[in-house]
Structure 1
Amino acid sequence: MERIPLKPYNLLHTPSHRVPLPSLTPPDERKPKRQSRLTNESPNKRVKLTPQSASDVSEDSDSDYYESNDPEIDDLVVVRSQSRRHTQYGSRTNFIMSLPAMSRRILPSTHAILRSFVSSHKSDVFKCQSAAVDGYLTPPYACSYSHAAKNGGTPHLAVATEQGSIHILDTSKRVDWDVEPTRTTLQPHHNGIFNVKWNPFDTHLATCSGDQSTRITCVETGTITHVLQGHNSTVKCMAWDPRHSDLLASGGRDGAICLWDLRLGNKQDNDGLIVSSPVIKIPGAHEDSPSKGKSRPRKGKQPASRSVTNVLYSDADPYGIVSSGSFDGILRCWDLRVQTTSKRTRVAKHKIPTCIYSSAIDPTTLRGSRRPRGIISLTSGSGPTAGLLFGLGADSRIHTYAFPSLSPQPSEFADQSLQASSFYVGIAVSPCGKWLVSGSAGKEGKGFLFDVSNAYRPSHAREGAGVGFKGQVGEVGAVDWAQGMLATCADDGTVRVWRPDVEVYNHCVEKPEESKWDWSWST
């Protein structure tokens, strides 16, 4: 009988998760997890090792943050995070937010790292000298690290003071008693500055002041390039559009949100400064909409305006801006894609942006108190907390919101010693997205660190497990992060830099009386 030759077996038609492919080249040691899945092995659950030094604290890839019982989801996260940053969902943040909550990996606790933050009395303290002849130090009201500092570059910190000055500090680690690097001092205002932010390219600084203006200052030359006037009271907050260096938004105690375009509406005042008016203004951004039949207050009995305390651009929505107010814990998202109407008039008029999302529930009223509390400070998450917003409420609790719905989440963070009854207390999320630092009112001079990496899972968020650290006197207000360090500002006129150092921390715990002359550490 004639033998019929068989066709060679085609491995390309065999599912890769069932039959292993022949290895013609040595295995790639850089991708052991991916190869183990292709060879149908059952690897142990991935566990991220706890970093032991400041150099290990960095933003990780998406594959370090998420894991589920479905290998297709895990493989999708690994492949997309290693191959490209932008996905079919629009961006890395949108893709992470699109994953189901159960697929987000439970990260191990990092409280041991938070407890190891220390600050040297000799090289980590910066003083804010007073501009007045009869003064020595002045309280810092706001601070902000540059974008380069958050990405591992030179840690330049802009500190704004009560007297309208800005000190740009280099907070790089130095040897004890070394001379402080030369700082740059600017004077954009002659009134208190309540917020300072770097533009996306770190070339200009925007400052909000009690003189009812926001000013743009060139860092290199120290000259004021723009004066933004449109608020009728103190300007409390501002934010740059991360996608366009000429666009920004501001909010004030008059309850209004102003949108600015530095290319439009410019004129010179008597001092030769370029003065700009807002392109769009949202009055009463957090006021209740008037309802039919509701009586208006009598003349002379007008209620006080509900201040806008924070404005925030989101990475997930290029056309929206989130705001918070001083009256309650309701967040609102505004659609900036407005249209102009000029059919009947020659002058084009902009429609007021529409509130497209708002929090359905006020989380500040869920702890047995019917009285709403405002949001003092607002910040957005990244990495494992991408898609979340954290708001420090006047009820001394840190509330969690989901974007874009702005719905409050079950995860809350608090400490029995944390006080948030002050206008100046702030919060900030670390560049890696795992940690959150909060200031605190009162005379103790304490700050608090929280592990928020599992905020998506309330059962693992560890409510109330804050790490307190003390090294200053008076209220600790402004705070911010750079890669591997954080800065805190206090009423005693000082700025302190804190870094994780397990060796120094262990020495301080073992010999506290000897170490207290050189270091401050967690309490």
Structure 2
Amino acid sequence: MYKQNIFGYSSQKQFVPDSYFKSFCSERVHGSQAEWVTCQFCPDVSNEHLLVAGDQDGQFFIVDVRYSSIGLYDKLIKKSVRADKSCILELEFIPKKPYMLLSLSGHANVCMWDFEKTTRVYTFKGHEESVRSLAVSPFNPDMFVTGYRDGMICEWDQRIRSDGLGYRTPISTIVNAHSSPTFSKPYVKQKLKISTPRTVQARVGVTSLVYLDEYTVVSGSSASFKTDIRLWDMRYKSKNRPLRVLEVPKTKNARDFGVASLCLDRYRSSLFAACTDSSIYEYAINSSIKSPIAALSGTPKLDFNAFDVRLASSPISDHLLFGSGETYGLMWDLQERQEFVYKDELHCGYYPYPKYVFGGHQTEVKVVRISSLGQYIVTMDDRQWRLWEPRFNSSNRSSSQSAFEEVEYFQMPETALDSIKM
């Protein structure tokens, strides 16, 4: 019903007209004394307006974005929690438990919080090195996985207590999930005089995780140009080999690169991978095809170690969002993979380039998020974040404010325009 009211089309068609996202605007920027690192909307529809944002100083903030819609900016921050002395690397709400969330920090701390009471519920300990990635199961809110800088993937069940310990421990682990054997120079045994190559396992960090289904986890790493994208069946206690491997194309720049972010579309049928060589690939994750079926264009050149940029897919439509690493966020209209007609108007022309640009930032936008019903979008750089919403939801319908920004169409390169004309 929501989609019929907002978009004016049958929910069976699932098409979103250009006029919807083009109507989004942002009235002001919201700053912080500390550097912003990450943010996430609550996945529960009833709490779509709740946003959690984490900073470099180890704090996270619960934001009620509805107050921005009515101009009450001093009431935006609902709660603030000091989670750690180190940087908050990732935050995730727990599905079906709207006041619970998980936090990752640079001190290898994984914690569950009741932010309504501002109390820590559980601590999860599985390794000493920094935790780099987190995925909560949308199928079972008690289950989640974490990825570590040393290449380990840990699986957790919130319900299982560790006797005699003040913290939870993993129920299973995958060691060296993305390591590939490398061979050093042969060494000579003094007595036998036989040269034998020594196998060395180089540790590769797990940079992104996502649940494909109830039992399958997809992982990307800081060296995916060597180890590709891997799928794991978490039911097997002995996880020495991945269930499947998806190939990451080797680019002409023969420089090491990895996967910065993974996400699935709303149907969980397409997997998107953003790589630090500025490539974004699409995989038909439920097919037997190992290589990408498409590569998106229009991404700016990323810094070599830009593992903090994030992908996000729209939960209501076929759109993909990306924190570009420049002073704006990007959105692709994946509906254009197939030409379609909406109200007698043909929609095509941008894909595989982005269609929309979310600007108004002074520094690099790394994170872009969209809420569970598609009514709010947040773009975040390290100093500021912007809330975007349709103009008919906004408190100020004029563009008189100096910080006011509107969504713009992407400026396609001339070479792309020429190919379209042909």
Question: What is the TM-score normalised by the length of structure 1?
Answer: 0.65
**Aligned equivalent of 1:323, options 193, 212, 219:** 219
1:362 is matched with 248
Q: Unmatched 5+ residue regions in structure 2?
A: 187-195, 340-347, 409-422
CA–CA distance in 1 between the matches of 2:216 and 2:23? Answer: 38
Alignment of 1:244-255 (within 5 A): 244-255=140-151
Please list the CA deviations of residues 162-187 of structure 1 after superposition, one character each: whole Å capped at 9, or x if unmatched: 11111000011523365434511112
Task: Tell me the secondary structure at the aligned position of residue 167 of structure 2.
Answer: strand
Whose strand fraction is larger, Structure 1's or Structure 2's?
2
1:373–1:112 CA distance, 2 compared to 1 (3 A) = farther
Alignment of 1:6-21 (within 5 A): none
Please list the CA deviations of residues 11-39 of structure 1 after superposition, one character each: whole Å capped at 9, or x if unmatched: xxxxxxxxxxxxxxxxxxx9xxxxxxxxx
Task: Tell me the secondary structure at the aligned position of residue 242 of structure 2.
Answer: strand
Query: Larger deviation: 462-471 or 185-194?
Result: 462-471
Pairwise CA distance, 1:496: 1.1
Please list the CA deviations of residues 129-166 of structure 1 after superposition, one character each: whole Å capped at 9, or x if unmatched: xxxxxxxx111111111112xx3644100111111111
Q: Unmatched 5+ residue regions in structure 1?
A: 1-29, 31-50, 66-106, 129-136, 339-349, 509-513
Is 1:375 the counterpart of 2:259? The answer is yes
Partner amino acid, structure 2, of 1:357: R
How many residues were matched structurally? 378
2:88 is matched with 193
Partner amino acid, structure 1, of 2:39: C
Alignment of 1:96-111 (within 5 A): 110-111=17-18
1:60–1:304 CA distance, 2 compared to 1 (3 A) = farther
Partner amino acid, structure 2, of 1:184: K
Please list the CA deviations of residues 482-504 of structure 1 after superposition, one character each: whole Å capped at 9, or x if unmatched: 12111122112x22111233899
**Aligned equivalent of 1:310, options 203, 208, 217:** 208
CA–CA distance in 2 between the matches of 1:142 and 1:456? Answer: 33
2:296 is matched with 413
**Aligned equivalent of 2:364, options 460, 475, 482:** 475
Partner amino acid, structure 2, of 1:199: I
2:324 is matched with 440
Pairwise CA distance, 1:235: 0.4
Contact map agreement 1:418 1:448 (CA 8 A) in 2: no
Contact map agreement 1:60 1:432 (CA 8 A) in 2: no
1:152–1:263 CA distance, 2 compared to 1 (3 A) = closer
Pairwise CA distance, 1:324: 0.8
1:456–1:371 CA distance, 2 compared to 1 (3 A) = farther
Is 1:127 the counterpart of 2:31? The answer is yes
Please list the CA deviations of residues 257-303 of structure 1 after superposition, one character each: whole Å capped at 9, or x if unmatched: 0011223342566xxxx312212111110112579x99336xxxx67
**Aligned equivalent of 1:146, options 42, 51, 55:** 42
1:356–1:417 CA distance, 2 compared to 1 (3 A) = closer
1:239–1:465 CA distance, 2 compared to 1 (3 A) = closer
Contact map agreement 1:425 1:441 (CA 8 A) in 2: yes
Task: Tell me the secondary structure at the aligned position of residue 61 of structure 2.
Answer: strand
Is 1:351 the counterpart of 2:241? The answer is no
Is 1:64 the counterpart of 2:13? The answer is yes
Is 1:277 the counterpart of 2:169? The answer is yes
CA–CA distance in 1 between the matches of 2:353 and 2:75? Answer: 37
**Aligned equivalent of 1:259, options 155, 158, 173:** 155
2:278 is matched with 396
2:405 is matched with 520
CA–CA distance in 1 between the matches of 2:100 and 2:9? Answer: 25
Partner amino acid, structure 2, of 1:64: K
CA–CA distance in 2 between the matches of 1:420 and 1:117? Answer: 29
Question: What is the TM-score normalised by the length of structure 2?
Answer: 0.79
**Aligned equivalent of 1:220, options 106, 110, 116:** 116
Contact map agreement 1:159 1:166 (CA 8 A) in 2: yes
Task: Tell me the secondary structure at the aligned position of residue 292 of structure 2.
Answer: strand
1:243 is matched with 139
Partner amino acid, structure 1, of 2:258: G
1:177–1:502 CA distance, 2 compared to 1 (3 A) = closer
Task: Tell me the secondary structure at the aligned position of residue 75 of structure 2.
Answer: coil
CA–CA distance in 1 between the matches of 2:27 and 2:39? Answer: 20
Please list the CA deviations of residues 190-229 of structure 1 after superposition, one character each: whole Å capped at 9, or x if unmatched: 1111110011122311111110121111122221122111
Contact map agreement 1:473 1:491 (CA 8 A) in 2: no
Pairwise CA distance, 1:418: 5.7
Partner amino acid, structure 1, of 2:360: G
1:233 is matched with 129
Contact map agreement 1:337 1:353 (CA 8 A) in 2: no
Contact map agreement 1:388 1:400 (CA 8 A) in 2: yes
Please list the CA deviations of residues 59-93 of structure 1 after superposition, one character each: whole Å capped at 9, or x if unmatched: 974x314xxxxxxxxxxxxxxxxxxxxxxxxxxxx
CA–CA distance in 1 between the matches of 2:128 and 2:8? Answer: 42
Pairwise CA distance, 1:475: 1.8
Partner amino acid, structure 2, of 1:323: S
Bigger Cα Rg? 1
Partner amino acid, structure 1, of 2:13: D
CA–CA distance in 2 between the matches of 1:264 and 1:503? Answer: 44
CA–CA distance in 2 between the matches of 1:450 and 1:372? Answer: 26
Is 1:486 the counterpart of 2:354? The answer is no
Pairwise CA distance, 1:425: 1.0
Please list the CA deviations of residues 297-348 of structure 1 after superposition, one character each: whole Å capped at 9, or x if unmatched: 6xxxx6752110111112xx3221111111125211111112xxxxxxxxxx
CA–CA distance in 1 between the matches of 2:386 and 2:7? Answer: 19
CA–CA distance in 2 between the matches of 1:141 and 1:268? Answer: 35
Contact map agreement 1:487 1:498 (CA 8 A) in 2: yes
